[in-house]
Amino acid sequence: MVKRALLLTLFIIFASFNFVYAQSWTQVNTDGFGGDVRNEEARLIVYKNMLYVSIDNWGGANQIWRTSAVGGPPFTDWEQVNTDGFGDGKNNSEANFAVYNNFLYVTVYNEVTGCEVWRTAGVGGPPFTDWEQVNTDGFGDGNNTGGIIGVYNNFLYVVANNNEVTGCEVWRTAGVGGPPFSDWEQVNTDGFGDTGNKWVKNPVVYNNCLYIAVENSAGAEIWRTAGVGGPPFTDWKQVNTNGFGDINNYVASLAVYNKVLYSATSNEVTGCEVWEYREYPTPAFKAMPWVPLLLLDD
């Protein structure tokens, strides 16, 4: 009887711990960082052991906040580390993060003068006093309204969305000169030769190549490069059929998991799809084709 009672007690304690763990989500900011209902979308990154949040303000300007998780909840040390929209009001709205050479980089959406790329080492403030723009607006083209940012082979890459005229552009820098940096160079042809390739999702690195997913009304395209030749690079190659054979798969995002490349598509007709792609680095093996893993109806 004593053993049974002990086992029952341990079971109740264990179950209680599981219950607490399962219900442990806690909000750690105030709604909209101060009640601004227009602060709708947010993106996260960790930089110098602090959590950073980039906020898209609908109809307003981008804001960047950080915390070291002190106090609360909500945390009491939240602080905004940029001026709203980097001084350009509501024109600078959406933003994406990357860390490169110990700097925090931010790409900012601007549909008036073109996307902007800013960086900081977290000096002064808040707001930080060392923010500096490291590109010319829109890389010289106001139609390059937004950008996705990433790091590949010791270069910082920005894939600029061009939703009106020429198609997406891929730019890179080693952070030389300036600001703005003097070594920016475009490493693809506009839109990969198709003006319909306008919007891009997150670039990823897989088997030492850079992969980029591009939105296209004729079906999403996925392109890769090992950075050979050029610029523009001469080894760009599309590695899927448009939309994986379905033009309704017009948007795709990418991720690498367990040495396999995955793509998730948006499909408003039959539902979203998840595809996998395996490629072996040795010439003795051929790349396996994309294989559908998950099909979800609306």
* pLDDT score, position 61: 85
pLDDT in tens, 14-57: 455 544 445 789 999 998 888 777 777 788 999 999 999 998 87
- Please state the rounded mean pLDDT for residues 78-105: 89
Q: Residue 59: pLDDT above 80?
A: no
CATH class of 201-298: mainly beta
What is the pLDDT at residue 2?
53
What residue ranges of the chain are covered by domains with CATH 2.40.128? 201-298
Is domain 28-196 classified as CATH 2.120.10.10? yes
Quick one: pLDDT at residue 9? 52
Name the CA radius of gyration of the chain, rounded.
23
Condensed to tens digits (0 to 9), the pLDDT of residues 221-236 reads 999 999 999 999 999 9
Q: Where along the chain do the CATH 2.120.10.10 domains lie?
A: 28-196
pTM of the predicted model as reported, rounded to 2 decimal places: 0.85
